[in-house]
Structure 1
Amino acid sequence: MFGVTVRHFTEADIPVRTALLRESRFQANLTDFAVVAEDDALAAGQRRTLEQEHAVKRIFTLCGPEDRIVGFAWITSIDWRSQSCELSFGVLPQYRGGFGAIAVAAAHEYLRTELNMRVVINQVLEHNTMLHSAEALAAEQRVRCPYDSYTVGEWRTSYYWSTTEDDIRRYRERTETRRREIAERIRARRAV
């Protein structure tokens, strides 16, 4: 679904994710811990997540056509009882324009259908417009948190919002309504 598949992160994916963690635009939009960490420490942290932290943190690999890795999604603050988690993601630079929004949608779908998550908490730094415009971010946010993160030598403001099953249902209804309206306009033009 969505043209992007989600699979469990494996040890073979660590070098690709490490390169993403070190990419400058990614660093400015999430965290800069990869700047100060050695390759071995970054790999060890990802291995630890795979081997020991599955109950509280998971990493997923987002794949496009021909199983090419287009990015990664990871969930933290997992509350299995409440069926909630916080979702983060990173799309490889060469796929941001083409697969970014599709990858995020696929991750949300996977969390709902495969992990039975009912509430997903989203966080985006205010200046991060890689997948959202500044206007869309401001409209989406429910909580604005100044001084939330310190990245690339600067305090950053974050926006937080939740996505629930009702939100997804309403989004799908709006999308379907919009699709029908466009189809009707096309049919009306052809009839003339």
Structure 2
Amino acid sequence: MPFVTVRHFTEDDIPTRTALLRESRFQANLTDFAVVSDDDALTANQQRTITRQHRVKRMFTLCESRGATVGFAWITSIDWPGQTCELSFGVLPEYRGPYGAAAVTAAHAHIRAELNMRVVVNQVLEHNTMLVSSGELTEQRRVRCAYDSYTVGEWRTACYWTESEQDVRRWREQAADRRRAIAHRIRSASASPRPS
């Protein structure tokens, strides 16, 4: 899996994120407010988030190992006393395949370790299979909300679920168990005498 780091979003990131907000797949899968906003309004909105809205919203830049930007993450609906928030992502088109899952993992790890968030609310529009397959989305969701969002001229159904600290620990243990089982099968196959 590619290595992704997380850093604070800065004014230098605004042009790249603005271009992402205007990208058609991003708009269809999250929000299309960039369609009705001009560049000045989008820039002002992002500058407000950086300078004055840290209590209610934070933005982060996701980078690959050499420091190039692969996308962005942001948290909203922040409940500092309750240690909960909603986490959103936007991965640049050229990095979606190789870096999508790594970006999600890095953002989750960052907000848990650095911001002490204990429960993360996930929302994915039902048609959006860029990071999660339809089957996985159906399996993970706890709430299905029809007519949740209006994007690119259509009402969209959203799926919601939470991830707690316990969920993260359980998934890490399951992943470690799978890796151990695979390693055991490989060692067993390598140690077996080969037929002559």
Q: TM-score, normalised by structure 2?
A: 0.97
Q: Which AA in structure 2 matches 1:96?
A: R
Q: Is the 8 A contact 2:137 2:159 kept in 1?
A: yes
CA positional deviation for 1:57: 0.2
SS at match of 2:81: coil
Q: Is the 8 A contact 1:2 1:106 kept in 2?
A: no
SS at match of 2:98: helix
Q: Distance in 2 between matches of 1:38 and 1:65?
A: 33
Q: How many pairs were matched up?
A: 192
Q: Distance in 2 between matches of 1:81 and 1:67?
A: 33
CA positional deviation for 1:94: 0.5
Q: Distance in 1 between matches of 2:142 and 2:106?
A: 22
Q: Is the 8 A contact 2:2 2:98 kept in 1?
A: no
CA positional deviation for 1:2: 6.5
Aligned to 1:148: 148
Question: Which has the higher Rg, Structure 1 or Structure 2?
Answer: 2
Give 5+ residue unaligned stretches, structure 1.
Answer: none
SS at match of 2:66: helix
SS at match of 2:117: coil
Q: TM-score, normalised by structure 1?
A: 0.99
Q: Is the 8 A contact 1:29 1:125 kept in 2?
A: yes
- In percent, how many aligned pairs have the same letter? 68
Q: Is the 8 A contact 1:2 1:105 kept in 2?
A: no
> After TM superposition, which residue ranges in structure 1, 4 or more long, deviate above 4 angstroms?
none
Q: Distance in 1 between matches of 2:114 and 2:10?
A: 18
Aligned to 1:8: 8
Aligned to 2:134: 134
Q: Distance in 2 between matches of 1:67 and 1:125?
A: 30
Deviations 1:70-129 (A, max 9, x none): 000000010100000000010000000100011001000001100000000000000000
Q: Distance in 2 between matches of 1:105 and 1:138?
A: 20
Aligned to 1:90: 90
When the two chains are superposed, the root-mean-square deviation of aligned CA atoms in Å is 1.0
Q: Distance in 1 between matches of 2:189 and 2:178?
A: 17
Q: Which AA in structure 2 matches 1:144?
A: R
CA positional deviation for 1:65: 1.9
**Matches for 1:75-86 after TM superposition, within 5 Å:** 75-86=75-86
